[in-house]
């Protein structure tokens, strides 16, 4: 955001309800409400011609926002390591991850959230690959951001990023779309995410980062910044 703002673009972010510095309500921890919350921000700030950038679960949020509210305020979409169309295996998408994977995440969040986030940061940034040095700053930042949120909200969000099918939302995206995904993403595997999304969304371009992990905003910061700026500037 600092990079894009330094190039003259207004950069706006919100913390999803139950996450970060947002409030921690008992209700509304679902993708319908996440999308409506995003719409409230867009409307309150009277945002126009936005390039919406969604990472991971945020990609589902962007897709569902357009699915529910349309693209009148949107000019472009960027999905980075995003979860659509769906992460879990279903009858329609049988090559997804087994639900047991997400049950394990639920158990980790419920039983020992602090330890779970410390451990999750390692594959998130690809720091378990040969020759990759552990970046303790990234790991601690990841942990701190996770621990700021509501355990209830984060627990509920697991269903939203794993079991919600965003296929119909993707079909409604009617603006130029850039799909960015690392081919070594251990959190959201590209084959059942970015690669499929780029086929479903009309006028989508898939850009694969060779060896890219999930946390591309850190691990591939310069490349991602350059790609976002180029896409923002493109006619």
Q: How far is CA 89 from CA 35, 93, 182, in A?
A: 24, 6, 21
- Strand partners for 179: 79, 206
What does DSSP say about strands 204-209 and 177-182: parallel, antiparallel, or unpaired? parallel
Number of structural domains (the chain) is: 1
Per-residue pLDDT reduced to its tens digit, 32-66: 999 999 999 999 999 999 999 999 999 999 999 99
CA-based end-to-end distance of the chain:
21
Per-residue pLDDT reduced to its tens digit, 4-38: 999 999 999 999 999 999 999 999 999 999 999 99
Chain CA centroid to CA 179, Å: 11
* The model's pTM: 0.96
Residues annotated as catalytic are: 56, 185, 214
**Packed helices 136-148 and 99-124: angle between N→C axes, nearest 10 degrees:** 130
Rounded CA separation 89/163 (Å)? 8
Per-residue pLDDT reduced to its tens digit, 192-211: 999 999 999 998 999 999 99
Rounded CA separation 120/222 (Å)? 23
Rounded CA separation 40/100 (Å)? 35
> What is the CATH classification number for the domain harbouring 124?
3.40.50.1820
Give percent above pLDDT 70 in the chain: 100
Contact 198, 179 (CB under 8 A): yes
Per-residue pLDDT reduced to its tens digit, 96-155: 999 999 999 999 999 999 999 999 999 999 999 999 999 999 999 999 999 999 999 999
Which range marks the domain in which residue 70 is found? 2-233
Rounded CA separation 16/133 (Å)? 31
Using alpha carbons, select from 36, 2, 1 the residue that is nearest to residue 16.
Answer: 36
């Amino acid at each position: 955001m600092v990079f894009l703002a330094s190039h003259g673009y207004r950069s706006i972010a919100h913390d999803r309800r139950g996450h970060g510095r947002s409030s921690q309500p008992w209700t509304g921890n679902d993708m319908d409400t996440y999308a409506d919350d995003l719409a409230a921000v867009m409307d309150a700030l009277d945002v126009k011609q936005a390039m919406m950038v969604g990472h991971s679960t945020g990609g589902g949020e962007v897709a569902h926002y357009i699915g529910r509210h349309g693209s009148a305020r949107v000019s472009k979409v960027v999905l980075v390591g995003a979860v659509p169309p769906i992460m879990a295996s279903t009858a329609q998408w049988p090559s997804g991850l087994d639900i047991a994977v997400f049950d394990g995440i639920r158990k980790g969040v419920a039983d020992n959230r602090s330890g779970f986030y410390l451990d999750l940061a390692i594959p998130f940034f690809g720091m378990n690959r040969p020759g990759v040095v552990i970046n303790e700053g990234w790991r601690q930042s990841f942990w701190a951001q996770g621990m700021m949120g509501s355990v209830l909200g984060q627990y509920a969000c697991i269903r939203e990023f794993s079991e919600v099918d965003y296929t119909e939302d993707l079909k409604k995206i009617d603006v130029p779309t850039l799909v960015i995904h690392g081919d070594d993403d251990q959190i959201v595997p590209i084959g059942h995410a970015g690669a499929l999304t780029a086929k479903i969304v009309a006028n989508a371009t898939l850009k694969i980062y060779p060896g890219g992990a999930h946390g591309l905003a850190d691990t591939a910061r310069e490349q991602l910044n350059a790609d976002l700026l180029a896409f923002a500037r493109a006619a």
